[in-house]
Every structure is written in C-alpha cells, then in structure tokens.
Amino acid sequence: MSTPFLRSTIQSSLLRRSIFKPSTLQQNIRQFHYSSPKMTVHNISTTQEWKDALKNNKIVMLDCFATWCGPCKAIAPMLVNHSNDEQFKDIFFAKIDVDELPEVSQELGIRAMPTFMLFKDGEKAEELVGANPQALVGLLKKGAEA
C-alpha cells in the first residue's frame, strides 16, 4: 500500500526521467570548437608599439578604453566581431588602456571612454566618443572605403 506522498514522488521521478532524457540533453548542448577565432584586436602596451602600428598600417582603428568603464566592456565584443569581419580585413584594430598609457591618451586628447579613432596614413581622420554600435559600424565602413 503506497502513501500519497510516495505516489507523488514516484510520479515526479518518472516525469523527470521522461523530460530529461540524455538524448534530449545531448541535442541542446552547444558544440564548442578547439580552434580559436582570429581575434585581431591588438592590445597596445607601449608608446613605441603605438607608433609602430601607425607607421606600419595604412588604416588603424584605435579603441581607447579603461578597465573600470562599463560601456567599454559592453562594446568590446562588438569590436572583436567586426575585426573578424571580411569587409574590414584591411583595417588594423588596436586598443589602449588609457590608465596604462597616459602619455598616448594625453597626446591623442582622450576626454571620455570609450573613444574610437580612425587613422589613415598615420593621421587621425575620424573620431567617435561613446559606445554607439551603429556609429561604430559607420566609422569602420569609412575606413574600409579608403
């Protein structure tokens, strides 16, 4: 003779097994790759690296960020995705931490984060202040046209 508690426990156990079958779970698990994406945003850590990046690349997109900046963290993955986009393959993507390279950020006149700057032939051509995804794409398209 089973009690109502025992009956409900057995029924819920059977229900759980029918819902969470291993075959159902296997279909919903995301498959991961062992190869890493291109990840072509270069972290600039010295003033000389920045000068070399400007000198060695025709078009440079610079992301000026700070580790404590929330909008910088929010838009960073979007910039990485754009750096792997085929239409922006001729753009050199770089980023500097304004707290680690204060001399470069001062020279560039950074006043807010994030600031995106597009350089053509070593000269600043365009600037975008703030985390605006649509404006960032527009800036990148201007760079790709050059």
Distance CA(134)–CA(92), nearest Å, equals: 19
Distance in angstroms (rounded) separating the CA atoms of residues 124 and 143: 11
Dist CA 21 CA 41 (whole Å): 42
Report the C-alpha gap between 72 and 137 in whole angstroms: 16
Tokens of 90: 């001729």
Q: Which residue among the candidates 69, 98, 128, 140 is catalytic per the annotation? A: 69
Task: Decide if 91 contacts 107 (C-beta within 8 A).
Answer: no
- Our answer to whether residue 64 is catalytic in this structure is no
Among candidate residues 59, 61, 64, 72, the one labeled active-site is 72
Closest C-alpha to 118, from 93, 90, 86, 87: 93
Active site residues: 69, 72
